[in-house]
A and B are shown apart, each in its own frame.
Chain A
Amino acid sequence: MHAVPQLAVSTLLLGGIYALIAVGLTLIFGVMRVVNFAHGEFLMLAMYLAFWSFALLGLDPYVTLVLALPVIFAGGWLSYRLVMGPVIQASHNVQIFTTVGLSIALQNLALVLWTADAQFIRTPYYAVVVRLGGAAFNLAQAVAFLVAVLATAALFAFLRWSYTGKVMRATAQDRQAASLMGIDTGRVYSLTWAVGVTCVGVAGVLLAPVYPVYPTAGLQFVLIAYVAVVLGGLGDMAGAVIASLIVATVEVVGSYVIGTAWKEVLYLLLFIAILLVRPAGLFGQRGAENIGV
């Protein structure tokens, strides 16, 4: 029983980060019907942004986060205009090849520019450990979790109450009708892509002080985010958050109770089992692609 507080805290911290990565992915799918296979590379680029800001300018990653938000958003917007925009009307196959191609290109660009060597951000507080009610955790990880929660909540509020958010949801529900109502769906797609990239960018900057930075750093997070998005129900934001927490619980608690070697097996078995019972995911509905967020 003495392990319970620690397991709970570890689950929450890990799940929070997975959630922030997953909501960006599910937002893009929900509105645009595009599975972004380059999501992990945007995470990696944001980690490098934090690293280079720290290494060259001495900027704390949290200062970078505030200053770089417009840059990340602009980068997302630009990547849509240059890469995704031209194929948005094309078949799903073309879109898949495009995002996979973008993923490979970005990974190798990072490799050429910054080599495969891992980089580290050692802030003055990198070794600060917080002890709370029988649990211990790294300060940077706790900050990452808190900001992830705030960012996810802000995204929910933006989609729920802002005019632009409503426009995005309208486009998600029925692109043709939205277009007939005068909505510039092309702009909505650009915006959605940029917001999705910003979400994962925020996650990247937050993770940079916690994990090593290297060209394939995004892969180990984003594969789990894909599982969470499908498990939660494609395009369902709340589902993605809850599924992220479920995956984190299975990872942390499952490996403690059953064995670490079983971690991936456990959450993938759960994934298959849930999809057998609910093919559209936990919170998704049949034909979700026609309903969206």
Chain B
Amino acid sequence: MRHAKWPVKTLVAVVGVVALALGAGALGQAQQGLSGEYKIGVLEPLTGNLAAEGKRHLEGMEIMRDLINERFGGVMGKKLTFVVGDAVDPTVAASEATRLATQGAVKIIAGTFSSTLCGAASEAAARQGVIYWETSCVDPRLTKRGLKNIYRTEIDGTGFGWYNIEFIAKHLAHRLGKKPNELRIAYLSEDSSYGQSVTETARQRAKQEFGMQETGVEYYTFTTNDLTSVILKLKSQNPDILHHIARNQDAILFWRQAREQNFQVKAVVHAGATGYGSPDFGKAFGADGNGPFALLEPGAGFLIDKMRPEGQRIERAYREAVKAKTGNDIAGGHQLAGGGLWVLKLVLDAAKTDDPDKFRAAVLGLDLPTGSALNGWGVKFDENGQNSNPRVQHYMLQWQNGQMVTVWPEEFTSERGKWIPLGPWDQRK
């Protein structure tokens, strides 16, 4: 009996050593697969008023970068690395883009998330002959200035407006027991190019295509401290639906003051990863924030199985990686940044170079149907460098008990929209 213990221990030790060796070998093999580094610049607002979302976008990029390096063979067979710049405002965004191109010696700059920043950053990048890769800003003007090396993976503001009205006309209207042309819509928006482009496109489509009745349009600066006067006006207009494009703090301020003023509307619809689309909104209100819709990348309830196999693979991997890194569910900012970086990897792998002409040929040559990439996106860039709006599939999410739940299109989700129409404020739980 005494002697019998030794072989067991020895066996355990041998198995352990072999396992370690195998692990190390596997690790070595993964690292051997990547030869050298490929560096890109990443420009996000990391300080100032836009920092909360900017940091979320950077986090999304970093998680995707690590995933690409560890599981998807890096880019062009090399390990992807970042040089990071802080784009606190448009002026700094331009100077940081210049710094990344000159001192950072990068050939590609990705960023900046905000429509306030992307115009200045991309122009500076263009002056340096550097490729600018926008993952999130939606200002439609970004890709319409005749600059050759500017690309955007995200939908533009006109796409947001289009989808919002699609949702209102084809989903909300019948659930409210009305025809689209019987709906009364009020438009409220922060006044940057993001808010304006989404709002104006939505207004145009709602009126021209569906004959919806517009009760009023109001723009405001997102750093406002009070929105009661706006709410009073909205109350007098008595709309069915409020189309509200907000940043972060203004969505929270509006919701709180709307409750105080007992402003009753049948639905609130937003677009984008800020405002009602930001995790801040859920953190501020919990279940008291039940009800508003935000057009975003897929959230809880999303049926990943509805994507194409290659899309499912990256979707699952990224969601798990975000959860493991942050401890939280994936946020819109993560998805936009991560989704954009994934498409950049596909382009670089196809081009095998960052030479602007060959890179451009690879961008224009990429043709992936909807559901092939992260977030259910597809890829088909136009001559201006804009990814095709119809390929960049978006989903309507709703705040339900502190969580953003995918509710539309219904074939992509196991969940359904609730509180349609919105009941009294104290009955939305």
Residues on A lying within 8 angstroms of B by beta carbon are: 3, 6-7, 10, 14, 107-108, 111, 115-118, 120, 122, 127, 129, 136-138, 211-212, 214-216, 219-221, 224, 251-253, 255-256, 259-261, 263-264
Contacts and interface: CB of A to CB of B under 8 A. Distances in A.
Contact of B283 (A116, A118, A263): A118
A137 B260 contact: yes
B48 to A, nearest CB: 6
A63 B379 CA distance: 56
Contacts of B224: 220, 260, 263
| Residue in B221, B223, B226 with the greatest tally of chain A CB atoms within 10 Å | B226
Contacts of B122: none
Given A129-B260, A138-B260, A118 B249 contact: yes
A211 B253 contact: yes
25 contacts: A3-B232, A7-B228, A7-B229, A10-B228, A115-B55, A116-B52, A118-B249, A118-B280, A120-B283, A127-B288, A138-B257, A212-B248, A214-B52, A216-B49, A219-B49, A220-B223, A251-B225, A251-B226, A252-B228, A255-B229, A256-B232, A256-B233, A260-B229, A263-B224, A264-B221
A252 B226 contact: yes
Which secondary structure characterizes the binding site on chain B? helix
Contacts of B229: 7, 10, 252-253, 255-256, 260
Interface of B: 46-49, 51-52, 54-55, 191, 218-221, 223-230, 232-233, 236, 248-249, 252-253, 256-257, 259-262, 280, 283-284, 286, 288
Contact of B284 (A120, A137, A260, A264): A120
A14 B286 CA distance: 26
B262 to A, nearest CB: 7
Contact of B51 (A116, A211, A224, A261): A116
Q: Which of A211, A216, A224 has the most CB of B within 10 A?
A: A216
Nearest to A251: B226
Given A6-B261, A10-B228, 19 more contacts: A10-B226, A111-B47, A116-B52, A116-B54, A118-B248, A118-B280, A136-B262, A138-B256, A214-B52, A215-B51, A219-B223, A251-B225, A252-B228, A256-B230, A256-B232, A256-B233, A261-B218, A261-B220, A263-B220
B232 A118 contact: no
A220 B248 CA distance: 14
